[in-house]
Amino acid sequence: MKIAICSDHGGFELKMRLIPFIEALGHEVSDLGCYSEASVDYPDMAFPAAEAVARGEYERGIAICGTGIGVSICCNKVRGIRCALCGDVLSAELTRRHNDSNMLAMGGRIIGAETAKAIVKTWLGTDFEGGRHENRIAKITAYEAEK
């Protein structure tokens, strides 16, 4: 699977620890920035990553900032993106199964690397359940199309 990953300075260290982990799981990862711990504005990373996922250049995307909140807000402004902020494995599983999330947000200053790895592994390895959830996703898509 092709995965886009981005961070601001607050998520840089975690992003750098996740990239080789995701690659070891057999996925292709593209780092869309930032590229150091120098202070940057998270929208400058999150919007382009979400737009690339929405265009279909990547199957899924991961965005990391200090708390995960800022990048999740940005990503969810992009039509076609369903970004879930996750700090635990169960939320990561359920957002894939029930919400068909195509982006994952995490807080580099909130969760440790081992928790983040478990979240990512679960999120990447869980399929959308479909069924009753398809109607709910269709309603989100229809609402976006109206705006």
- Note the pLDDT tens digit of each residue in 81-104: 999 999 999 999 999 999 999 999
- Note the pLDDT tens digit of each residue in 31-60: 999 999 999 999 999 999 999 999 999 999
52 token code pair? 């690339």
- 81 Ramachandran zone, left/alpha/beta (phi>0; psi -120 to 50): beta
Provide the pLDDT for residue 62.
Answer: 99
Hey, which residues does 5 pair with through a beta bridge? Answer: 31, 62
Average pLDDT of the chain, as a whole number: 98
- Annotated catalytic, 98? yes
- Annotated catalytic, 74? no
Main-chain dihedrals φ then ψ at residue 7, nearest 5 degrees: -155, 165
- The average pLDDT across 117-145 equals 97
Provide the pLDDT for residue 147.
Answer: 80
- The average pLDDT across 64-69 equals 98
Provide the pLDDT for residue 71.
Answer: 98
The domain that contains 126 carries what CATH number?
Answer: 3.40.1400.10
Domain that holds residue 79: 2-146
Compute the distance between CA of residue 17 and CA of residue 52 in angstroms, rounded to an integer: 22
Flag whether the pTM goes above 0.85: yes
Residue 52 contacts by C-beta under 8 Å, 6 or more apart in sequence? 4, 32, 58, 61
Provide the pLDDT for residue 4.
Answer: 98
Q: Is residue 139 predicted with pLDDT exceeding 90?
A: yes
* Active-site entry in 6, 65, 75, 83: 65
CA distances from 131 to 27, 63, 124, 126 (A): 27, 28, 20, 15
Instruction: Please give the tally of structural domains in the chain.
Output: 1
Q: Is residue 80 predicted with pLDDT exceeding 90?
A: yes
